[in-house]
Structure 1
Amino acid sequence: MRFKEERFITLLKAYMNEQISESEFEELVNYIQQADTAQLNEQLLDLFDKAWQQANQQLPIKLDAERVLHGIMTSPQLNTQARRKKPKVRLIAASIAALVCLATLLVRQYTPLPLQAAKEKLLTQEEDTLTSDRREVMLTLSDGHQIPVNALSEGVQTFQSGTHVKRDQNQLIYTEDQDTKAHPSPVLHTITTPIGMDYKLTLPDGTRVQLNAGSSLTFPVAFGRQERKVELQGEAYFDVAKHPNQAFLVQAKGTDIHVLGTAFNVSAYQEDPYVVTTLLTGSLKVQSKILRPGQQALSNETGHPIVIREVDPDEIMAWARGYFVFDQDDIKQVMNTLARWYDIEVVYEGNLKGKTFGGTLSRYTDFRQLLHAIEQTGSVKFTITGRRVTVSP
């Protein structure tokens, strides 16, 4: 039976946007089953590309088509009964896995719910299941007073400084007014995300920011006339509002990043050796170096020369879409990244030199399932004791 291309694209769009029903998911699997296994790669990837172009051009991240297809065919939604009825599922899944290799395993827990609902669902699992920890995103005012963001009622809040802040679902939106600008000294606010949570906010100038887990951003509630300066600890994606006469400056661990209007990502965790700045669109200056889109700068506080390299921006921005993407990264770096999200203690045993992992993993997957996926590569083994994870060859 030939593919009905339009219907297949519709189902793929629903799957990628996490709006697919159970019956539609089964229909999608049926379409994949009906493909000639030898032609599966070329035929399905071509259709996926068309679906992507129609549905997701506005998104900053595109997952590799082969990984997505592997995720469909290995989804937990394909239960035991379905597999018994459709034995070819395993053969097709194996075929796709052969295309991408086991190290590019996509662990994706199917859910027809929106992403935020998926987060909440995972956080209500049994206590002995390791998932991302549920803590509060905190707003720290200029006087040091801390307020859990969820404690703010939805709608516009006005603080003593005259600052107007709107909590709209899962983000904060700041707006400037004349009273705030007239304040004699800068009024600073800080947003801090805990381990296991990210958060979005809009700065007073219209710049959109997404903070990764374990990060904080300090910023004035009203920017000066010539400069917009913020301070970052951790990781954040910035989509900077264009104000040609107001340069935007991010300070992170001794690195100054200058922009006018562009989109970029900065990772500056305290425990990491480098501040990693990746340019998505526009242009920016890291210290004295100018970046072009698709370039990444590695800088530190020791005064060593800045290193510029070419990268895949989609992979860098995967975290903002709910994924970990590793490209044969050192296993210790992989575990550092996971520890920030799942709030675990990592212990290393034996010789792990040269041990790496590459693959795409959902950030909302149960932690034990995630470790099991990494173990399948044969690179390392894990022993879990409470929130302590021991890594061994």
Structure 2
Amino acid sequence: MNAEVDAAVAEAFRSERGHIVATLIRVTGDWELAEEAAQEAFATALQVWPRAGVPRKPGAWLTTTARNHAIDRVRRNTVGGAKLRELAVLTPPSDAGLFDAEEIRDDRLRLIFTCCHPALAFESQIALTLRTLAGLSTAQIARAFLMPEQTLSKRLVRARAKIKNAGIPYRVPPAHLLPERTTAVLGVLYLIFNEGYSATIGADMIRESLSAEAIRLQRLLVELMPDEPEAQGLLALMLLHDARRTTRVNDAGALVSLEFQDRSKWDRGRIAEGTTILDSAMPRGPVGPYRVQAAIAACHVTAPTAAETDWAQIAGLYDHLVGLVPSPIVRLNRVVAIAMADGPDVGLALLADLEAEKALAENHLLPATRADLLRRLGRSEEAAASYRRALDLVATDAERRYLTLRLEELSQ
């Protein structure tokens, strides 16, 4: 029974935490209180659910419990009388105000726009939303940003303090203010999706609830900003990637590379929707990074077989993407595409430049890429050394199993 409860609490944390925290922020106006009360609610569930059973609506139970914890905390504060009265007014006994979709429309979208206020630094906007809404740990976010965890932690503290001290409103801004927050909001949703589609750390490489939440919020954003083609491009990108989700990890829990995925199991409905959205968005104004990435994803999912993938076109798209987003990861992906189009020896020469820069020195993808190129050239001993280096750095179990299998294949 405890195992079942643990699983139910874990699933509720993945699927409901963002909504609970967002709702409590709306109700209390206190970000730190909302996060702490939500955490206490999950701890309470671990104590109560083994005796009482998992409730029919775990999210509602957890939100009510978190609100009660928040009230208790305010009550214990000798100067909290005004806040307690405010909390009582905002949350009627029936809890109807917590769950009325018409009233709140979507607390999570409201939270994203609040986090993405232009008064905050761009990376702080994204990090704060990922921490508060998606429930990612500071370590996970720091890894996504390729920065020290301590640095990221300080940014989160400063961002919360600025929202409180500057009185930044908790709302979706009026239409004329939307454009100034578009880049940050898209960045937040993109990183939430990526963390669900390909987790940066942990036992579960795929966290379906996170990627599903990102897609849901992205649909809302497209409805809110129908004239923003990059919003459509990001939705298309999410759908095209999500179409392959069920084939990316095998029954043994190991990552399955794109070339070996079972294409018959890809979600053709997702692919059709994604390509239709992309076709509509592509001609509308200068093409931004999300539409370029969606076009790359479309090349992959529309190829009948791995051998028929148009790698030359993908390499050309990466050339364009590097001009828009010259990040080390994008440049690494460009090297892979060129290697697939022009040969692994060409890829190795380009990879040397990235290795010299040290930006990805602690990222497993760099030695894993080198290992794969060496393997394709038949240089097994060198490939094995690079696979071992990648294994020292990898943070997810699925990718570790994949690299281990590759290493074992070299010795056969």
Q: Does the alignment reach a TM-score above 0.5?
A: no
The answer to which structure has the higher strand fraction is: 1
| TM-score normalised over the length of structure 1 | 0.26
More helix by share: 2
Normalised by the size of structure 2, how large is the TM-score?
0.26
